[in-house]
């Protein structure tokens, strides 16, 4: 039995043995539908596409994913179960990966449950299902990025509220890194190459190209690197806390 899967299955199980899982899924489905139909001009747009649906995912994730990730480590630290978990014969990366995968798998379940909207659009018209599949993939990758950031921040504190707020702020910065209001304070005194590389860290630019059906290896590598960097930082933080 693999350590990662033991941690992952325990974590997933605990989502479903508390109201957390159901509340999260219901809110996610209701909000994503509401955004799509009210703001996305799903009907009036006159196009058989799920763009109005996917466009709001980054903003949904901005508040929902930190609510999911805030408890990952902060709660264990608060209740003392972290002492139990970290004295089991597991490598630190196994625990970190197991917990991250559980939360990612859970978000993908929530995402999967949006399938009625895919059925709807196929019933109403003749959308490009390849683009839709790519957009689902992009959305999932972006959720993974949010979760990795959130997991890392959760490991730094035992206060879930602090973890939530910090994660929202950091993810907000990541979302908008490519946009003028974020970059304008830097223009003029920071070299253009640095501004460009900050801009290239934006979740939104990478997500929007995937969600248009353009699967560029660079976008996938971007999210993979983002996730692994933050999980690695997560391991480092936990190890640092042992020495404190």
Partner 1 sequence: MINCKALTKKYGNFVAVNELTFQVQAGEVLGFLGPNGAGKTTTMRILAGFLSPTAGKASVCGFDVETQSTEAKRKIGYLPEGAPSYPEMTSRSFLEFIADSRKISISNRQRRLEEVHELLQLGTVLDQKIDTLSKGFRRRVGLAQAILHDPEVLILDEPTDGLDPNQKHEVRRLINRMSERKIIIISTHLLEEVDAVCNRAIIISDGKILADDSPKNLESKSKFHNAVSVKLLNSMNLNIVDSAINSLPEVASTRIDENNNSLIAFPTKGKTPLEAITKLGAAEGWDFSELHVESGRLDEVFRSITGGTAR
Which spans of this chain sit near partner 1 (rule: CB under 8 A)?
1, 3, 5-7, 9-10, 13-14, 17-18, 79-81, 83-84, 86-91, 242-244
**Residues whose CB falls within 8 Å of the CB of residue 226, separated by 6 or more in sequence, listed in order:** 145, 148, 149
Distance between CA 83 and CA 74 in Å, rounded? 12
Closest approach, Cβ 139 to partner 1, in A, equals 29
**Residues whose CB falls within 8 Å of the CB of residue 201, separated by 6 or more in sequence, listed in order:** 174, 177, 178
Closest approach, Cβ 61 to partner 1, in A, equals 25
Closest approach, Cβ 164 to partner 1, in A, equals 20
Closest approach, Cβ 165 to partner 1, in A, equals 25
176 class by beta-carbon count within 10 Å (0-12 exposed, 13-18 middle, 19+ buried): middle
Closest approach, Cβ 154 to partner 1, in A, equals 16
For the chain, give the number of residues. 244
- Whichever of 17 and 192 has its CB closer to partner 1, that residue is 17
- Whichever of 81 and 184 has its CB closer to partner 1, that residue is 81
- Whichever of 2 and 41 has its CB closer to partner 1, that residue is 2
**Residues whose CB falls within 8 Å of the CB of residue 22, separated by 6 or more in sequence, listed in order:** none
- Whichever of 79 and 197 has its CB closer to partner 1, that residue is 79
Integer angstrom CA distances of residue 47 from 39, 55, 219: 15, 14, 26
- Whichever of 88 and 133 has its CB closer to partner 1, that residue is 88
Distance between CA 23 and CA 237 in Å, rounded? 30
């Amino acid at each position: 039995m693999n350590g990662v899967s033991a941690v992952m299955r325990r974590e997933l199980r605990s989502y479903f043995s508390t109201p957390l899982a159901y509340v999260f899924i219901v809110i996610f489905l209701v909000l994503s539908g509401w955004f799509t139909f009210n703001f996305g001009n799903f009907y009036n747009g006159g196009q058989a596409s799920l763009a109005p649906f996917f466009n709001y995912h980054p903003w949904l994730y901005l508040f929902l994913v930190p609510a999911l990730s805030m408890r990952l480590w902060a709660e264990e630290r608060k209740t003392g179960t972290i002492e139990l978990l970290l004295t089991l014969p597991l490598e630190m990366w196994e625990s970190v990966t197991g917990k991250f995968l559980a939360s990612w798998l859970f978000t993908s379940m929530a995402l999967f449950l949006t399938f009625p909207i895919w059925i709807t659009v196929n019933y109403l018209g003749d959308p490009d299902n390849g683009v839709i599949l790519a957009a689902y993939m992009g959305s999932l990758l972006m959720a993974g990025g949010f979760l990795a950031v959130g997991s890392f921040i959760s490991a730094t504190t035992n206060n879930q509220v602090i973890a939530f707020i910090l994660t929202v702020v950091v993810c907000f910065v990541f979302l908008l890194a490519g946009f003028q209001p974020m970059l304008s304070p830097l223009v003029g005194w920071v070299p253009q190459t640095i501004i460009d590389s900050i801009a290239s860290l934006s979740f939104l630019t990478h997500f929007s190209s995937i969600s248009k059906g353009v699967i560029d290896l660079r976008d996938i590598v971007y999210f993979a690197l983002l996730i692994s960097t933050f999980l690695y930082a997560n391991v480092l933080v936990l190890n640092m806390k042992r020495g404190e």
